[in-house]
Every structure is written in structure tokens, then in C-alpha cells.
Structure 1
Amino acid sequence: MTEQAKKDGQTNSCPVYKKCSGCQLRNMTYEEQLKFKQIKVDRLMGKLCRPDRIIAADNPEGYRCKVQGAFDFKNGKCVSGVYQSSTGGVVAVDRCEVNDERADKIIKAVRKTALGLKIPVWCSFNGKGFLRHVLVRIARNTGEIMAIIVGTSENFPSKAAFVKCLTEKCPEITTLIFSVNRSDKMNVGDRCEVLYGKGYIEDIICGKRIRISPKSFAQVNPAQAKKLYELAVRSAKLTGKETVIDAYCGIGAMSLMAADKAKKVYGCEINKSAVNDAVINAKLNGTENAEFICSDSGKFFAEFNEENLKADVVILDPARAGCDRKFLSELVKVSPDRIVYVSCEPETQARDVFFLIKNGYKLKKLMPVDMFPYTNHVETVCLLSKLKSDQHIEVELKTDELDLTSAESKATYDEIKAYVKEHTGLTVSSLNIAQVKQKCGIIERENYNKAKSKDSRQPKCTKEKEEAIVGALKYFKMIG
């Protein structure tokens, strides 16, 4: 945003604000965004625990250090920018204000290099072309930069010339990777070929040297990630005597931080690449009391229980969909004294916290962190403590307020809506979802989204929306 725009009070100066939809809150000032997110968290779990004041970003612009640029050939011109799943096309963006400027420069250079060498760019109209997208990762504290070129086949046209030309244009790139992905999803493929450099980058996160490989997860906002991780580990109240499990541990940043203050740490993660990085990261930092296991978290906890092992503290940071019922059931059996639940989706977190409360835990603290300025997303850290056997807690809580459809529900209505919107671009209503769930044999609460009388006319869900909702129900494992 320009200085003049700021002086004029403009908040949506981005020319593609409405087309891109990446910054949903671009029409708000940063203070208004923080208030919006504070209220969102309070409405979800305020009856259980008064949220702390949201931790703001020191700089809400230029924070994204993981940036994806998609390519498309439109109207005889190659463009790069934001992929739109609803249309299968690309919104042209050369400079995004929330991205690290170096990432945008590299994406633009990749596009120009491909055009100069006549490398065919993907075209959404005919489904042909080689260059699909590029992923740029920047290590803020070391300056190392990884660029991952994703193509549609193993045959990379003019590969040697491309590498030479791009690295000359962008000498700041420390490693260049090539991966193949033939699907419509904007993912890095299973196999990664190192074209230049060492094949990974290293950064300093909370004082720990951390390796990040092409397929490993790392937070997009390193400045806020530092605040988040420090908050989570501090909330665990470790004294040096505890056994800790870090579920969904990723590359092990929080595990290593916890290991400094605990007796033993077990990190569990299903992503093999991330676990490999975590093991290496433990060695890089001389950490000997952290052990990393590649496993589904629910399965790991079940095995932990079978061996009658004890954990004093569990830290968990699941994906946006939250935890499944199997995992939560096994977590309760582990019976840790404290649970630190980190989440990027407070709606699914509220659902899971409610389950834990019903099974002997109390929500002690609720701490929001603004990890993604200008978006409607908010990160939250919940501290739960186990009630003693002679204690109990009664919470007057309507399940509607946590958007639960039944005791066996695996996803909220808002979560299903968000999934459908993200993957199809369609906007579905709660009534649409209720109709499809009823059709699929999922029992609804009495009178939930039902007509007030038998004669009331309800709009029927279109076939397109029904298929999209069914896809979401399958994703959340609510139907087979």
C-alpha cells in the first residue's frame, strides 16, 4: 500500500483485491482486523474461557515467506499469479503486498526465463503446457532461498539453459528444485530433483537451526511463528521433569524448544520428509532427549497406551481440519496433566476442546495470535489442564454455539462451507448441507435448518452443490 493511500485511509488499494480473494480483510484497517479476529475467537470459546488480547504482527505487510506462483496462458499472453480453484485459472499478480518482495521477483523471473527459452507454459483452456507453478521459500534469518519448479512431465525442456539463466537473474536463490505434478492440485510432487544447490534451506527459528526440505511444512510468517511457538512452549509450564509428546510435530521446531525444558520429548508426524528433517534438526542443535516417529498420530497414541507409557504434557498442532475422534479418544487415555492445543482453525479447535472438556479437562487459557494479517484466519493456543478426580466442571454451553451437529459430528457447517468454497468456488448454505446430510443418512438435530411447517417451500440443493458437499463429507470422513 502506498503512503498516500494510508494517509487517505484506504485499506483496499490492491487492484486485484476482489478477484484474488486471498486477503479477505483488505477492506479493513489493521486495527479493525484485530478486533474482528478477537470477536471471532470470543464468540467460539468465550463461554469457556475469556480470550487473551490477540498478539498482533509488528509488520502486517510483506510477511509471507512461502509464496506460490501459478502460471497460465491467457489471451495470447503468459501470466503468473494466484491460482483460482473455482475457475481453474490464474489471477495475474506481479506484486502482492503480503508477500516477501524477493519471492515475487523470483516468480516473475521464472516466467520471463520460460518465455525467453520458449518453454511451454500451462494453459487452463486446453489443459496443455509444461510449466505449472513455482513455490518460493525464504529463510528470513539466514537469507537462504529455495525455488521449486513444478512441471507436468519429467521431460524438462531446455533444463540446463533454464537453470543457468534463472540463477544468473536471481543469484539470491541458494537451491533450485524440480518436481512433477500432473494433478489439478497446487502441490509439490512426490519426487524432487535438485537442479542447483544443496536441495534444502536452513533457517534460525527460536534460536534453533532448522532444516526445511521441499515437501516439509514451515510457517509462512516467521516473525509471528516465533511468538506462537514461544507462547505454546511457555504455556506447557515445563520444569525439566516432564515427558512431552509433540503431536503433528512437523520439522520439530517446538519439539526442540520443549526438549530444552523437559526430560524427554516424543515428536510424532506422518510426513516422512518432515520427520527426516526433524531428526537432522535434533542433531544440528545437539538435542539428545528428543525422539521423532513417523506415524499417524492416532496410531502412535494407541501404541503409547498399549505400552502403558505416561506423558505429562501433550502439544498438538493439527491441520485445519482439526483432530479426528480416534486421536482425541487416545489422547484422553494418555491422560496428560496439560494439553497445549495450537490451531490455525478455531472452529474445529472449539469442537475438539469441547470433546476434551467432556472428558475431564478444563480450558485454562485461550490465546489468539495474528499469524495471517489481511486474511480472516487466526491462530489460537489453548491450554487445558486435567481435572482431579474429586473435581468436576459444569459448563452451560449450547452445542449450536460450537456448531456441532451431533455427538459424532466430525466437521462444523462453517468448515464444510469453507472446504466447498476452497475446492469448488461454490457458496453453499447450511440448509444445503443439512439436506445433503439427511440424504446421506446422517441424522440431524431436531428442527435444525428444517422448514417451520410442512407447507413451507425450501430451495432444493442443486446437483453441482450436492456433489461438492458430498465431496466435503467424504474428506471429513463423515461418509464412506
Structure 2
Amino acid sequence: MSKRAPVNKNDYIEDAYFEDLTHDGNGVTKIDGYPLFVPNALPGERGKVKVVKASKNYGFGKLIEIHEESQYRQEPPCPIYHQCGGCQVQHISYEGQLKAKEKHVRDVMARIGKLPEVPVHPALGMEEPWRYRNKAAVPVGEREGGLVAGFYQQRSHEIIDMDRCIIQHEKNDEIIQKVKEICQKYGIRPYNEEKHRGTLRHIMTRYGYQTGEVMVVLVTRTADLPNQNQIVEEIVSSIEGVKSVIQNVNTKRTNVIMGDQTKVLWGEEVIYDFIGDVKFAISARSFYQVNPDQTKVLYEKALEYADLSGDENVIDAYCGIGTISLFLAQKAKKVYGVEIVPQAIEDAKKNAELNGFTNTEFEAGPAEAVIPRWYEEGIKADVLVVDPPRKGCDEALLNTILEMKPRKVVYVSCNPATLARDLRVLEDGGYKTLEVQPVDMFPQTMHVECVAQLVLR
């Protein structure tokens, strides 16, 4: 007989105690061991909850009132926080956010990695955890005949119009408002996803923190952009720092932002920015970290863990546009980078040239195929750095690391759960995890990046 949930939809729990926070910022209360996930509730709080969904193994609730409040609870500074789906934890003080992220990493290390003894340091946070994002990409819609642009409402495709977002750099707010006004003036129709009609799908901006350079990207459904010349002229004359106006054409019925066709309408194909002393060319489609201040913290930690003397060969798996590779190249004898996206490898080569690095080599292809071939060709790594996507390292790559046996592995991760899983595999294969350092790249959200240092036993 299958067990039934101890609660039903529309039940009220008069005195729920919240013991934890999920990776997406929901409070967790348990009824006879049955977990109920409740948005806006914090660990240590008590409150009244209404059950809104009850499946066999877990349910969701709505916080009706709080009886006992957490010391970390605060009033969210953003006026549209409760409607918008952009942030999850503005109702937690920054100190509380950092503690929650450290605890999350510690928990998955113990539960998934079976590594409760590995030191997890306090999360490295920002002095000013607002206005940090150098890139914005917002969908465009229509309301009462006017253009609106903003993030989607939680769990819906309703756009919340906004004139400012307090985790975006002020410059991005200014650009989006200006571009919205200009497109409205010239009668540009927003994209309607139900009917697959209209022109303008997204407005995207990139801002170089160190250089002040601006890129504006108009993502359109059609290759034809009515009144293109006038629109471009006004963007260039009214926004300071614009170096690049790009059109990206996405003709598909999809919620993926960018399409396959990108063309320069005015100016350069790239803008430039620095992380530390390393200069990067950033195109409309480049993957470039959105929080440059904390990226520097993250990469300096990776460089510290690599502990290079200048004699080492380093392999950077999942190298992207060469951001970590070039940081490592400052101290290594030779850095080999591999990445599955060919365009990113072209960018990595250009970035190496831009900075005058002659000790780097980049190749496009899956890391799990390229690195074993390098190994057969006699290219052996003293230090291997991985910075995989959220799903973690490919199993074949982990096997290659165990076969190749680099002295050190530095694992940069954007998902603590897959980090813990992969560390377990490397531990079982002869490595020892010395320490894990969480870094807060995305304040006001529950995302946390980590750097782990491993040595061959």
C-alpha cells in the first residue's frame, strides 16, 4: 500500500517550524518527516502555513503569518521583489545569505560527497552586494499600447515592467529605459510569443566595468528592423559610452534568448573589459561572468589553489573564452585550454593575443575527448583546472583525470551538488580534497560558486 501524505491541499498548519532553506530559497518545514517547501520562510522561524500542493513525497505551502521571526529577516529593498522572479533571497540580510550559502555547501559535501571532514570556509561576499551585474537581457512586451521591459513574474510569462533593477549596474537600467523609449517612438512592435508575431524580443546590454564601454543588442524575430538607421542613430547619440550596436535574429518559437544570426549595426563587434590585469574582448554571444568584482576573487582563489611556480603545464577543461586560462598563464609555463563551443575558442585565442600571452594553446571539442588524446600525444598536466557547467564533469573526463594523475586538481563549480558528487569520484580514485571555498557571485539569489583544491594522495 503506497503511503499517503500526512497533509492535504488547503490544510492549515498552525505552528510550522522551519529548519532549513532549499537551494532555491524556500523554507523547509517537516510534518511527520514529510517536507513542505514554503517561499519567504526562513530557518529558525515559526509560522502559520497553508498547504497549496501535496504530492506523495513532498508538498508546497504558503506562509500566512510569522509567529517567531529570524534575526536575519529584513524588508526587501526592491519594490517588485515579491512579483519578480529575478532574486530569491532579498528578504534575508546579507550576513544571513552568506551563512545560508556556506551551510548549503557544507550540507551537500556531507550528504552527497560523504566528505563531512573537508574544511568548507565561510563564503567570500561583497562589500556592496547590490548593483553588481554587468549584463542585462530583458524580454519586451506590451501593455496598454506601450512597450514594457523587465523580468518575468515568478512561475509565469507575465513581464513585470521595471525602470530599475537594484542588482543591475545603473548603466544597464539607463540603457534599457532609453532603448525602450526609442523603439516605442519608432513604432517597433514587441514580440508576442503566443502568436509568434511582432519584432523586438529582448533588449540586451553589456557594460565594461573598468572601461565604461557599452554594447546594446536588439534581439528580433525578423531580420528586418523597421526604421533601423534612425533607431541606431538615437541609441548612439543618447547613450554615453556606446561602442557597439548589434542585432541578433531569433526566428524560432523558443524561450532561448539568442538566435543563430548576429550582425553589427554600428561600431565594433566587441567591447573590452578587465578582470584584474587581464583584458578581455566580449562579443554579444561571449560567456563572460556577470559579476566582475567577485570573478576576480574567484579566479585569484583558483590561482592560489593551483600554487604555480612557473614550471607547470596546466590544462583548463571547459575554458570558455579563456578567462581562467589567462589568469593561470600569468604564472604557468604552459596552459592548454579546451572548450566545446568553437566560437568561444576563437575568442580565447584572440584574448591570449590581446594580452600578449604566447604560452597558451586552445582547442575546440569535448574535454572528455580532447584531453585523453592530448595525454596519448604526451601532453601531461601538473595541474588540471575544471570549471564545468551546472551538470558537473563528464564521467569520461573524471576517468581521464584519474588516469592522467595530475599532482593537483582545482575544481571551480557553479553547482555545489554536482561538485560534491564529482569530488567523491576523485576521492575514490586517489585524490584528497584539502578545502572548499564558497564565493558569492550572485548576491540576493541562492546561487553560490565554489573552488575546491585537491591533491594526489
Fold shared by both chains (TM-score > 0.5): yes
- 1:262 is matched with 332
> How many Å separate the matches in 2 of 1:281 and 1:138?
18
> How many Å separate the matches in 1 of 2:95 and 2:387?
27
Following superposition, the deviation at residue 185 of structure 1 comes to: 2.3
> How many Å separate the matches in 1 of 2:156 and 2:316?
39
2:227 partner amino acid: S
Q: For the Cα contact (< 8 Å) 1:201–1:212, is it kept in 2?
A: yes
Please list, as runs of the form range in 1=range in 2, the aligned pairs for 1:155-234 lying within 5 A after superposition: 155-183=224-252, 184-234=254-304
Q: Which runs of 5+ in 1 are unaligned?
A: 1-8, 388-480
1:382 aligns with 2:452: yes
- 2:107 is matched with 43
- 1:29 is matched with 93
2:130 partner amino acid: E
> How many Å separate the matches in 1 of 2:104 and 2:306?
25
Which is richer in strand?
2
Following superposition, the deviation at residue 162 of structure 1 comes to: 0.9
Structure 1 residues 139-175: Cα deviation after superposition (integer angstroms, max 9, x where no partner): 1001111111100011111111110122222132211
- 2:169 is matched with 100
Following superposition, the deviation at residue 315 of structure 1 comes to: 0.8
- 2:27 is matched with none
- Identify which of 54, 71, 76 aligns with 2:123: 54
- The alignment yields a C-alpha RMSD, in angstroms, of 1.6
Q: For the Cα contact (< 8 Å) 1:147–1:175, is it kept in 2?
A: yes
Following superposition, the deviation at residue 10 of structure 1 comes to: 4.2
TM-score with structure 1 length normalisation?
A: 0.76
> How many Å separate the matches in 2 of 1:76 and 1:237?
59
> How many Å separate the matches in 2 of 1:76 and 1:25?
33
Structure 1 residues 276-314: Cα deviation after superposition (integer angstroms, max 9, x where no partner): 121111111111111111111111112123324311101
Please list, as runs of the form range in 1=range in 2, the aligned pairs for 1:83-98 lying within 5 A after superposition: 83=152, 86-98=155-167
Q: For the Cα contact (< 8 Å) 2:392–2:422, is it kept in 1?
A: yes
2:226 partner amino acid: P
> How many Å separate the matches in 2 of 1:10 and 1:311?
48
Q: For the Cα contact (< 8 Å) 1:244–1:265, is it kept in 2?
A: yes
Structure 2 vs 1, CA of residues 284 and 34 (structure 1 numbering), >3 Å: closer, same or farther? same
Q: For the Cα contact (< 8 Å) 2:85–2:152, is it kept in 1?
A: no
Structure 1 residues 254-273: Cα deviation after superposition (integer angstroms, max 9, x where no partner): 21121121111101112222
Following superposition, the deviation at residue 103 of structure 1 comes to: 0.5
Please list, as runs of the form range in 1=range in 2, the aligned pairs for 1:289-328 lying within 5 A after superposition: 289-328=359-398
Q: For the Cα contact (< 8 Å) 1:89–1:124, is it kept in 2?
A: no
- 1:129 is matched with 198
Q: For the Cα contact (< 8 Å) 2:314–2:332, is it kept in 1?
A: yes
Following superposition, the deviation at residue 253 of structure 1 comes to: 2.2
1:340 partner amino acid: V
Following superposition, the deviation at residue 322 of structure 1 comes to: 1.2
> How many Å separate the matches in 1 of 2:264 and 2:188?
19
1:375 partner amino acid: T
Secondary structure, aligned partner of 2:205: strand
Please list, as runs of the form range in 1=range in 2, the aligned pairs for 1:333-344 lying within 5 A after superposition: 333-344=403-414
- Identify which of 240, 253, 269 aligns with 2:310: 240
Identity of aligned residues (%): 39
> How many Å separate the matches in 2 of 1:306 and 1:93?
55
